[in-house]
Amino acid sequence: MPEPLYRHPTRSEILELAAQEGHDADIPSNVGTIHDIAHRHHSTSSEIEKEKSLKTHKRPSPDLLKDLEKGELHAGSISSLSDDAVPENEELDPNIVWWEGPEDPENPMNWAFRKKWGTVILVSAITFLTPLASSMFAPGVPEVMETFHSTNDMLEGFMVSVYVLGFAFGPLIIAPLSEMYGRLPLYHSCNVAFVVFTIAAAVASNMSMFIVFRFFMGCFGGAPLVLGGGTIADLISREQRATAMVVWMMGPTIGPCVGPIIGGFLTEAKGWRWNFWFVAIVAGSFCLMSFYCMNETSASTILARKTKRLRKETGNDKLRSKLDSDLSTTDLFKFSIVRPAKMFFRSPICFAMCTYVAITYSYLYILFTTFTEVFTSQYHWKGGVIGLSFLGLGIGSLIGQTVFTHYGNKLAQKHMLAGTFVPEHRLHIMAYGGPFLPIGLFWYGWSVQAGVHYMVPMIGTGFIGFGLLMTFMPASTYLVDVFTVHAASAMAASTVSRSFCAALIPLSSQQMYAAMGYGWGNSLLGFVGLAMVPLPLLFIKYGAKVRGWTTVKL
């Protein structure tokens, strides 16, 4: 086997890929692990030569890892390594298995255009469908309550929000399993399980069965949210990836708002159970397409299989993949579950941002679980028209995503080019967009209370949708920039906390509106949102100091 040439990845490439693949950078991405570049930078040229001659692989020192956890630009840490400070090419150890040159057909980056973008479109479609299913049957909730002979207001909200509770648990298991077995087996198994539990929800005979099946729909429906970003990073070059990521991200941001619009008319025409039959049919079609069209895209899995094949062909048991992580199954699960908890409770920045996002995200599901009742009782809407009450929220979310994608990234790139970028620059657009959320809640609540024309509260919900996206998106990118190597753990902490809040807080929304009315009820939510508005301003001013005196030991 000829020795291929290998260009060492830069630190920024490793961090970016790890974040998109949804794991920390000390677990190998498609271009390696942060440990490799850390060790190279801390070695002298003579040590590098010695390392090459001894064919060894070392881990960085604990002191370096402390720097990595803080994500700071300390002298002597890998953060100070420039992209051109690494040799362009270096001969690999002959026992290291890598791609056979830049045109290797096994490398997913070299797949045909139709095959690559076909996979991206299919993954984006699945990612759109599963969040859509979270709220699609919301307009049919009164029919569900009637079918199961229930008058419990708490269950009325929980049957909608329990889906996102599954989003909290599923990714914690799916992420480490994908590192061990690759992305494709997880796509196939989760797609099949999602279809099975969707059908089960469609034929449920009592409320308990229905809620349990909805929970498992959320657990398995979270797979494309965990795996999709990594799949796109596997296939699409860095220069073309932004477009694909925007298309993929539209699923979790727009899907939950579009679902009820479809569900309202479908419930009127065929009954609430057909919301689930519709999702099952579409998801089943995607599942069959994925079996036929999709191939494994994870470089670490492909190279592991190649290594196994070459060992058998050559009899050389010393062969190992360049992307071999040397991590046990226990370690992977530990990183997936324990690290986010440590990040949430030990980092003031992570705790504050996760709390802000969790509160605002729970407002989204308060609206999902109450819109039907509000527009039925206040505006006497009936049938499929009920689904249109979610339109303002969807349009506002779409505008918010567009504004953030353009202006948020433009501001960050301006400072990057000037060499003055710090993570807190991500929060400026959050400081401008955050007030739209409480403004929208006040607008929506009091216009509904006054019974003015329905377009007035719908405009208010548009402000809410805009404020939600302008809070959620900057907070996510800020966590990635602050925690760099361990960005995935910070994001997992955010996902779990916001999913728990979105599942549990809406349970009391009906009682709140009954006791306080729509005006003061939404004002209460608005005042809490207003209290959170100064948070990005505080971090813009003091964030660097907070990062300087806190260290999260993972």
Residue 56: its pLDDT value, please? 36
Mean pLDDT, rounded, of the chain: 83
Residue 466: its pLDDT value, please? 96
* Whether the predicted pLDDT of 518 surpasses 90: yes
Asked if residue 304 is part of any domain, the answer here is yes
Does 143 lie in the same domain as 178? yes
Does 491 lie in the same domain as 403? yes
Residue 123: its pLDDT value, please? 93
Does 55 lie in the same domain as 11? yes
Does 221 lie in the same domain as 123? yes
Residue 88: its pLDDT value, please? 43
Query: Which candidate, 409, 452, 444, places its Cα nearest to that of 526?
Result: 444
Which of 94, 123, 156 is the endpoint of a domain? 94
Does 281 lie in the same domain as 260? yes
Asked if residue 191 is part of any domain, the answer here is yes
Residue 39: its pLDDT value, please? 52
Query: Which candidate, 12, 11, 13, 15, places its Cα nearest to that of 487?
Result: 15
Does 157 lie in the same domain as 32? no
Q: Could you tell me if 426 and 408 are in contact, meaning their C-beta atoms sit under 8 angstroms apart? A: yes
Asked if residue 550 is part of any domain, the answer here is yes
Does 164 lie in the same domain as 41? no
Residue 526: its pLDDT value, please? 96
Does 117 lie in the same domain as 264? yes
Residue 251: its pLDDT value, please? 84
Domain CATH code at residue 311: 1.20.1250.20
Structure tokens at 171: 């990714």
Length of the chain: 554
Asked if residue 331 is part of any domain, the answer here is no
At 429-474, the pLDDT tens digits run: 999 999 999 999 999 999 999 999 999 999 999 999 999 999 988 9
Does 390 lie in the same domain as 265? no
Write out the residue range of the structural domain in which residue 156 sits: 108-326
Contacts 24+ apart (CB under 8 A), 204-208: 206/148, 207/148, 207/150, 207/155, 207/159
At 288-342, the pLDDT tens digits run: 999 999 999 988 889 989 999 999 888 888 888 888 777 777 777 777 788 888 8
> Residue 233 and residue 238: Cα distance in Å, rounded?
8
Asked if residue 101 is part of any domain, the answer here is no
Does 142 lie in the same domain as 77? no
Residue 61: its pLDDT value, please? 42
Q: Based on the structure, what is the number of domains in the chain?
A: 3
pLDDT average, residue stretch 493-504: 90
Which of 56, 71, 94 is the endpoint of a domain? 94
Residue 75: its pLDDT value, please? 30
At 225-281, the pLDDT tens digits run: 888 888 988 898 877 777 788 788 888 888 888 899 999 999 999 999 999 999 999
Query: Which candidate, 485, 463, 482, 484, places its Cα nearest to that of 474?
Result: 482
Does 313 lie in the same domain as 359? no
pLDDT confidence tier of residue 66, bands split at 50, 70 and 90: very low
Does 549 lie in the same domain as 472? yes
Asked if residue 102 is part of any domain, the answer here is no
Residue 196: its pLDDT value, please? 97
Query: Which candidate, 304, 300, 231, places its Cα nearest to that of 33?
Result: 300
At 365-384, the pLDDT tens digits run: 999 989 988 999 899 898 78
Q: Could you tell me if 4 and 82 are in contact, meaning their C-beta atoms sit under 8 angstroms apart? A: no
Asked if residue 332 is part of any domain, the answer here is no
Task: Name which residue leads in pLDDT, 78 or 32.
Answer: 32
Instruction: Say what the alpha-carbon torsion angle 264, 268, 269, 271 is, to the nearest 10 degrees.
Output: 100
pLDDT average, residue stretch 85-98: 60
pLDDT > 90 in the chain, percent: 44
Residue 92: its pLDDT value, please? 52
